[in-house]
C-alpha cells in the first residue's frame, strides 16, 4: 500500500512540474512576440501605398510605391464595352460603408467626367468580368480589406494594356462623349493654344469650338467628329 502511495505522490508531483513548466514556457514565448507588428498590414506605411488596376487582366494591386512591390492582388470586375471603366490616375476622395448593390464598402474616385469608384457587390459571381457601369467591383471580403488598408488621397492608377488613355483603342469622339481619350485631346488642344476650358474629359461646346478653330487654322475639313486623322494631326499616336 505504501508503495502505491509513493507512486501516486510521484505521479502528482510530475504533473505539477509539467504544468508549471508549460506555464513558464508560454510566458516567455508570449513575451517574445511583438504583437504590434505581427499583422503584416500594420507594418505598411499608408503614405507609401497606391492602387494599380489592370482592366484587361481584371486585377487590383496594392502597391508599395517606395519599394515598388506588389503587396497583395485581388480579382475585380470592370465596365462593360458601352460603359467602360475610366482610365487614368485618380485619388480616393470618398470612403463609406454602403450596402445594397454596392456591397459593404465604397471608395470614391475623383474622376472628372463622372462618379466612379471601387466597391463591393452582392453578386460575387460577376467578379472577373466586364459587367459594371464603369466602377470597379470587388468581393465584399476583399473590398473590406482594401478599405482598411488605404486612406483618403491614395493614388489609384487604372490602365488597360500599354496605351494609356487609349487602352480601348481610337474611338470616334463626338460631342457629349466622356473619357480619358477626350481628356487627352483637350490637353493637346490646350498645348496648341486653342482650348481654354476645364480639363474634365467631357466633350462639350467649348471643346467643340476650339477643335473647329484648330481645323480651320490648319486647313483641315471642318467636322466635330474626332477620328484617326485628327488624332494624327494632334500627334496622338499609340506607342508600345
CA distance 204 to 148: 38
Task: Locate the domains of the chain by residue range.
Answer: 47-161, 166-233
47-161 domain in CATH 2.40.440.10?
Answer: yes
Instruction: Quote the pTM value.
Output: 0.76
Cβ of 192: how many Cβ atoms within 10 Å? 16
Active site residues: 119, 135
Asked if 194 and 213 touch (Cβ cutoff 8 Å), the reply is yes
Whether 73 has a pLDDT exceeding 70, the answer reads yes
CATH architecture for segment(s) 166-233: Orthogonal Bundle (1.10)
| Beta bridge pairs of residue 70 | 63
Split at pLDDT 50, 70, 90, the class of 47 is: confident
Confidence of residue 196 (pLDDT cuts 50, 70, 90): very high
Amino acid at each position: 500500500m505504501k508503495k502505491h502511495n509513493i507512486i501516486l505522490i510521484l505521479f502528482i508531483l510530475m504533473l505539477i512540474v509539467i504544468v508549471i513548466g508549460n506555464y513558464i514556457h508560454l510566458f516567455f514565448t508570449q513575451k517574445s512576440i511583438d504583437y504590434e507588428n505581427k499583422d503584416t498590414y500594420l507594418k505598411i506605411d499608408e503614405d507609401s501605398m497606391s492602387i494599380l488596376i489592370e482592366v484587361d487582366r481584371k486585377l487590383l494591386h496594392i502597391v508599395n510605391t517606395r519599394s515598388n512591390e506588389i503587396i497583395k492582388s485581388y480579382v475585380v470586375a470592370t465596365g462593360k464595352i458601352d460603359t467602360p471603366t475610366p482610365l487614368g490616375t485618380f485619388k480616393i476622395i470618398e470612403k463609406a460603408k454602403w450596402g445594397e448593390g454596392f456591397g459593404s464598402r465604397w471608395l470614391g474616385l475623383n474622376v472628372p467626367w463622372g462618379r466612379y469608384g471601387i466597391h463591393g457587390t452582392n453578386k460575387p459571381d460577376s467578379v472577373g468580368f466586364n459587367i459594371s457601369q464603369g466602377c470597379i467591383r470587388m468581393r465584399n471580403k476583399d473590398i473590406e480589406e482594401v478599405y482598411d488598408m488605404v486612406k483618403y488621397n491614395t493614388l489609384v492608377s487604372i490602365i488597360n494594356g500599354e496605351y494609356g488613355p487609349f487602352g480601348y483603342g481610337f474611338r470616334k469622339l463626338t460631342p457629349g462623349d466622356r473619357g480619358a481619350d477626350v481628356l487627352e485631346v483637350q490637353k493637346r488642344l490646350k498645348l496648341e493654344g486653342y482650348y481654354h476650358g476645364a480639363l474634365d474629359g467631357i466633350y462639350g461646346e467649348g471643346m467643340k469650338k476650339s477643335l473647329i478653330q484648330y481645323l480651320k487654322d490648319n486647313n483641315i475639313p471642318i467636322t466635330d467628329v474626332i477620328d484617326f486623322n485628327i488624332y494624327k494631326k494632334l500627334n496622338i499616336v499609340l506607342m508600345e
